[in-house]
């Protein structure tokens, strides 16, 4: 950092190289790098004539300006936790109540256009400033990640209020009111070296990587979708134990033809932006895994389609003649706790710290792994899950996750343009 202020000390060396710095400094009697003041016997108003090594005569007049160099920020960083906030403009902003109910918000305020305005940015900074107890001076900066003129995604660096935990700040009433007023969604995370340098991303499958709930689709083959869907909804909202709900639903699938998974491949649709996101992450050297409470045949299909490294899901038992599902499960159940364990195991096997991991899901059985990962994202998730998750993102494209990782639109486009 540098500062410029008037002072009766010599100027900096001429730009055009008319003299060497040593000759210049000697001629002007400069004492040190900070521009020591002249002695009482020195006349600082009279032009100084020096002769360059090339024999040229140069007159230099004191401008009265001194340049100083500060080393304040060259030592250890401040003890206060540094955060980064990513603001997503969301015209369909919704409010999640303490009971997990998701309701539409009446647009009482205008954001000066369909973007994150300067006024919104200033109010966000002011809101954080009011939460700083004890208050102390702090600095901030921002980046417009998608557009300099009308940004829909903005990144703001800030200092963490000392009296709050990050989990508390994420759920602070002041920030929820700010989101509601300005039609934005806030993603708060630590601003450290691991934020941009992740190496492992794990995903739920149903309603995350793909738009369907596979078990509901299977149930349609024997017309028990209503019963299965009801149990699925309760399980994903955390109302009933996932393992028990899975066994109840699988029991209803008894008699479904074993060819059902091949038939489902023509029905399954990938969430918008998933293919592009995974292509970028692979280009950046990520390991990718699908950790699903669904079933192995479809998880393996998704792994193949998206070039994943790992696929973990549940196994359905097939009858001895290989023609029908028996309504039973075999092997370990991939429930919430199992997903978190798999995240740790895959990270450890690849020499990756948990701070360098990303976990994305939409259901209650994804919360443990989301909280264990370096950044956990509830993507277009159930209301109760959004309320409990470390971060949430409601977007039309999963590619927007790259903004949370600190990438700009130009960087994303450059990565997508790279061909093998």
**Which residues are catalytic, by number?**
204, 206
Three-class secondary structure of residue 412 per DSSP? helix
**Sequence-separated contacts (24+) of 94-103 with Cβ below 8 Å:** 94/394, 95/176, 95/180, 96/383, 96/386, 96/387, 98/387, 100/237, 100/383, 100/384, 100/387, 101/383, 102/383, 102/386
Q: Which residue bears the tokens 């001194």?
A: 66
CA distance 367 to 294: 16
Alpha-carbon gap, residue 19 to 176, rounded angstroms:
61
Count of Cβ atoms closer than 10 Å to residue 70 Cβ: 10
- What is 263-318 written as a DSSP string? HHTTT--BPTTHHHHHHHHHHTT-EEEEEEEEEHHHHHHHHHHHT-SEEEEEEEEE
410-418 CB contacts, 8 Å cutoff, 24+ apart: 412/280, 415/280, 415/283, 415/284, 416/276, 416/279, 416/280, 418/283
Q: Any residues with CB less than 8 A from the CB of 44 and at least 6 apart, and which?
A: 8, 9, 10, 38, 62
The token pair at 226 is 């209503």
Residue 405 has what DSSP assignment? T
| Alpha carbon distance 232, 245 (integer Å) | 7
Name the phi and psi angles at 378, rounded to 5: -85, 105
């Amino acid at each position: 950092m540098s500062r410029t202020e008037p002072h009766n000390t010599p100027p900096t060396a001429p730009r055009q190289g008319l003299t060497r710095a040593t000759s210049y400094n000697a001629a002007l009697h400069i004492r040190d790098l900070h521009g020591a003041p002249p002695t009482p016997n020195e006349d600082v108003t009279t032009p100084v004539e020096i002769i360059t090594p090339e024999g040229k005569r140069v007159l230099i007049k004191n401008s009265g300006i001194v340049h100083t160099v500060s080393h304040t920020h060259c030592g250890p960083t401040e003890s206060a936790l540094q955060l980064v906030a990513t603001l997503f403009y969301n015209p369909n902003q919704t409010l999640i109540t303490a009971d997990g109910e998701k309701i539409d918000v009446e647009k009482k305020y205008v954001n000066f256009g369909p973007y994150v305005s300067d006024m919104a940015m200033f109010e966000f900074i002011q809101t954080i400033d009011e939460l700083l107890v004890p208050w102390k001076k702090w600095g901030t900066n921002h980046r417009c990640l998608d557009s300099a003129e009308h940004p829909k995604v903005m990144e703001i660096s800030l200092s963490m209020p000392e009296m709050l935990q990050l989990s508390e700040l994420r759920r602070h009433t002041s920030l929820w009111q700010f989101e509601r007023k300005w039609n934005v969604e806030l993603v708060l995370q630590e601003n450290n070296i691991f934020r941009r340098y992740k190496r492992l991303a794990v995903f739920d499958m149903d309603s995350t990587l793909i738009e369907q709930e596979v078990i509901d689709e299977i149930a349609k083959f024997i017309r028990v979708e209503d019963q299965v869907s009801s149990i699925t909804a309760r399980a994903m909202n955390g109302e009933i134990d996932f393992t028990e709900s899975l066994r109840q639903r699988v029991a209803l699938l008894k008699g479904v033809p074993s060819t059902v998974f091949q038939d489902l491949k023509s029905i399954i649709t990938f969430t918008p932006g998933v293919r592009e996101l995974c292509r970028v992450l692979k280009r950046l050297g990520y390991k990718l895994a699908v950790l699903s409470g669904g079933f192995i045949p479809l998880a393996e299909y998704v792994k193949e389609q998206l070039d994943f490294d790992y696929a973990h899901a549940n196994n359905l038992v097939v009858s001895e003649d290989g023609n029908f599902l028996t309504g039973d499960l075999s092997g370990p159940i991939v429930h919430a706790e199992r997903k978190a364990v798999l995240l740790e195991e895959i990270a450890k096997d690849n020499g990756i710290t948990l701070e360098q991991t990303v976990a994305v899901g939409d259901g209650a059985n994804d919360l443990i792994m989301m909280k264990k990962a370096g950044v956990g994202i509830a993507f277009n998730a159930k209301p109760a899950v959004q309320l409990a998750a470390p971060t949430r993102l409601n977007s039309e494209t999963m590619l927007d996750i790259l903004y949370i990782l600190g990438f700009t639109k130009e960087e994303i486009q450059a990565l997508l343009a790279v061909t093998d």
